[in-house]
Amino acid sequence: MVTRRVCCFLLLAGPVLPQSLRVLSEFQRVDPFGDVVPVDRTPQPREILSPGVARNAFASFHVVVTAPEREPFFVYVQTNPADVFQISLYKELYVKTENGWIPDALEPVKLPAFDTLPYLPLPIPGQNTVSYWMDIWVPAETTVQRVRLEVLLKIGRGWIEYPMEVRVMPAVAPTVQERQVAFPPATARAAAAVDGPFRNFLCNEREKGQEERLTVRRLIHRNAVQDLALARAAQGQDLRAELMRRSGVSDKKRWCQSPAAATPGTEWFLRVRDAIYQKSGPAPD
């Protein structure tokens, strides 16, 4: 057991300390200086304290570490009960754009993840923050329960802990095969990766193109595909009207023509996901 832990709940509205640990939704990408990238900012970001997760599905979050230069640190994730989930961690690599640095490509790392700044393969002047993508796989046979999940940061002599109570929901997502499609550019808001699957769900419009790189955008898209497959299989319920309401879409025809212009906010799909999980029981055999 880890001792001498310091709990640290740092919201986006608060100051970023010389060393800090944050967990944000998948739609809140953070630049190498500790700020949410401008296109993803929202006045009231979702606090990641007790997220609900479906079974036979992924849940994903950004783990954001701010640390002094040349101060070694490591990130670890543990659960109680142990071994309930399969947890993978990816380092988010930044791409320089006309809108600033944006995390995009993903590089698998082993837990615990040891790191230090600057990131020598691609040093960024003034960088004080490293962002990771935490992928949580919830097996189909997982018991409906609450699981304590702790993200731990060891830096210097101290520990920083971000505890979460993960709620395993009754919903069991159908097994879906990931299709390679063309994703929006990294400069688009993170939620743009959801537009294709949601348009397919509401408008019956098939996505086109192909992109195979492992990126933040690709895994956001994967998560949306699994959630909407669950919505289709929801015990014969037609959830379209409810999901439109949760998403803020009032004009289906307009949204189908231009989703980015009609969908408000950067975390709108979190409300859609909440509705799907709440209204979906186990998938029929």
Per-residue pLDDT at 171: 95
Looking at per-residue pLDDT, the higher value among 9 and 99 belongs to 99
Helices (H), the chain: 192-203, 216-232, 240-247, 252-257, 259-262, 268-279
The stretch 145-169 carries a mean pLDDT of 96
The Cα–Cα gap between 231 and 223 comes to 13
In this predicted structure, the answer to whether residue 53 has a pLDDT above a threshold of 60 is yes
Provide the CB-side half-sphere exposure for 73 (13 A, CA): 28
Domain boundaries, the chain: 5-169, 192-279
The reported pTM is 0.90
Two structure tokens written together for 261: 């212009």
Q: Which residues pair with 133 in a beta bridge?
A: 62, 90
Per-residue pLDDT at 119: 83
In this predicted structure, the answer to whether residue 10 has a pLDDT above a threshold of 80 is no
Looking at per-residue pLDDT, the higher value among 229 and 156 belongs to 229
In this predicted structure, the answer to whether residue 284 has a pLDDT above a threshold of 50 is no
pLDDT in tens, 79-106: 999 999 999 999 999 999 998 999 999 9
pLDDT-derived band at 258 (thresholds 50, 70, 90) equals confident
Provide the CB-side half-sphere exposure for 199 (13 A, CA): 21
Per-residue pLDDT at 9: 36
Looking at per-residue pLDDT, the higher value among 51 and 158 belongs to 51
- 59-73, 153-167, 233-247, 271-285: range with lowest mean pLDDT: 271-285
pLDDT-derived band at 259 (thresholds 50, 70, 90) equals low
Domain 5-169: which topology?
A: Immunoglobulin-like (2.60.40)
Looking at per-residue pLDDT, the higher value among 89 and 263 belongs to 89
Provide the CB-side half-sphere exposure for 155 (13 A, CA): 21
The Cα–Cα gap between 260 and 152 comes to 36
In this predicted structure, the answer to whether residue 108 has a pLDDT above a threshold of 80 is yes
Two structure tokens written together for 4: 């001498």
The Cα–Cα gap between 273 and 260 comes to 18
pLDDT-derived band at 21 (thresholds 50, 70, 90) equals very high
CB neighbours (10 Å) of residue 239? 19
Per-residue pLDDT at 236: 60
The Cα–Cα gap between 24 and 27 comes to 8
Percent of the chain with pLDDT over 70: 89
In this predicted structure, the answer to whether residue 241 has a pLDDT above a threshold of 70 is yes
pLDDT in tens, 189-216: 999 999 999 999 988 888 888 877 999 9
Per-residue pLDDT at 121: 80
Nearest to 214 by CA among 93, 55, 86, 62: 93
- Taking a C-beta distance cutoff of 8 angstroms, is the pair 266, 220 a contact? no
CB neighbours (10 Å) of residue 175? 11
